[in-house]
Amino acid sequence: MSDIVKIRTALISVSDKTGLIEFGRALEAHGVKILSTGGSAKALREAGIPVTEVSEHTGFPEILEGRVKTLVPQVHGGILGRRTVPEHVAQMEEHKIEPIDLVAVNLYPFEATVARGAAFEDCIENIDIGGPAMIRSAAKNHESVAVLTEPQHYAAVLHELATLGGTTLVTRRSLAAAAYARTAAYDSAISGWFATQNGVEYPEKFSFAGTKKQELRYGENPHQSAAFYTSTPARYGVATATQHQGKELSYNNFNDTDAAFECVAEFDAPTVVIVKHANPCGVASAESLAAAWDDALACDPVSAFGGIVAVNRTLDEETAAKISAIFTEVIIAPDATDAAKAVLAAKKNLRLLTTGGLPDPAEAGVTFKSLAGGFLLQTRDAGRVTAEVLQIVTQRAPTAAEIDDMLFAFRVAKHVKSNAIVYAKNRATLGVGAGQMNRVDSARIAAWRGKAANLDFTGCAVASDAFFPFADGLEAAIAAGASCVIQPGGSIRDKDVIEAADKAGIAMVFTGMRHFRH
């Protein structure tokens, strides 16, 4: 028996009316009876497309300000009735329930309503009830019913209708899967919003959803597959970016670009961040992006080759020319001038992304990490240390210039994989030690890299993302040339570390805040 299901009756009730009129006209041309509600019926009727109101079809009016209009047997019986089961067919005939072969429904815009900051009651009224019920009913009975939850689904169904006279089981199953994914994402958004409204940070059941933006060529390694999904609420970055040139981003490009842009957003002055393998290898703030690029590149020009560059201003022509002088994978910026785009156009493999804005480093949010059989959920590291909270713990107090460099270095360290050590001077990194198993090695590696680039460490600041468990890590930084150090404090050996700082005559401050990053 053929699995083709002819479409005789369709029910259309959509909030997103993209393509609605063209879809309605095509169904009309194939002799399909169209049932509809509210605004959808009005739009179809005004376009001259014959439509029957659901209330007329069911003999039951819309009530409770439209909260009840499709939650009736004539609708759900028409969707759920199995055409291949004689008892179902007999009952449908007995109760004069007409089969519905296609359901085109997209939901009240709850996510958009929340995103625009609407009042609580407005958000409640934009929680769709009848829509998800019809979608789930149609998806369950995909043996006989096609369910369309997005305007982009129309074309495939119309193609089959034109070429085969109806929908195939393969298509109906695919649409059913998409339908359940849509209702799951919708419920996830609602449950998350309710948890926030109720002040519940970690509900007993937590879910999150994403929308596939693109499939990637491969994952972290070529034998892994990958895809990029966007989620809500939107945050400026790779999810909002427009790519102006170059081949598609890879999995690692996405990861590194996100790391670079989150880091550069920490700074108010014109700033450039260069990232390699998710770690900053050069960061600098200056009076212009071009000057900041020179200082950032000087920190580690070897690692910068093939890196990711983020800027926190509109990318200008001069800076674009400087960056494009070395091999760069990606540049991400809030915007770019036409002149900058023209300069970069000569580099066909370089990707330029503009995001429309910068993420707020202090904005609340959550991050997650997958584990075998589960995942870890935590709030985003939105901590920011200012001069007012610093605790001076040494005999020598730092100068204003040293405080400025220490805060700069500590802000960079927040974005470096632990154990992290960052040397900085004049709002530019001199050396970055990342991801080592002990803090001494991080301090030594960071100094070695900077001195290999012939940078002067005399009188620089050093930042540690966590406390020094022993004095040896600090002593390595002092040996490199550091005159001041910023660290969280809190070790049982803080006294020993402070004594080592006093012995060397350097200034040290505690932040009381740690920035582990794994």
Q: Which residues are known to be catalytic?
A: 140, 277
Return the number of other C-beta atoms located less than 10 Å from residue 429's C-beta. Answer: 32
State how far the alpha carbon of 167 is from the alpha carbons of 3, 25, 159, 291, 357, in Å.
Answer: 8, 18, 9, 61, 44
Sole residue written with tokens 């993209």? 18
Distance CA 381, CA 386 (A): 15
Six-digit token pair at 83? 């055409």
Q: What's the helix, strand, coil split of the chain in %, to 5? A: 40, 20, 40
Instruction: Give 167's DSSP letter.
Output: B
Distance CA 410, CA 420 (A): 10
Q: Residue 101's closest CA among 138, 137, 149?
A: 138
Q: Angle of helix 154-164 relative to helix 20-29, nearest 10 degrees?
A: 10
Residues pairing with 421 in the sheet: 433, 464
* Exposure letters 388-422 (e unless 16+ CB within 10 A, then b): eebeebbebebeeebbbbbbbbbbbbbbbbbbbbb
Reported as type and span, the H/E element at residue 263 is helix 251-264
Q: Are 516 and 435 in contact (CB under 8 A)?
A: no
Residues pairing with 376 in the sheet: 369
Sole residue written with tokens 């470096």? 416
Distance CA 278, CA 408 (A): 19
Q: Where are the beta strands (DSSP E) in 174-327?
A: 211-215, 227-230, 242-245, 271-276, 279-285, 307-311
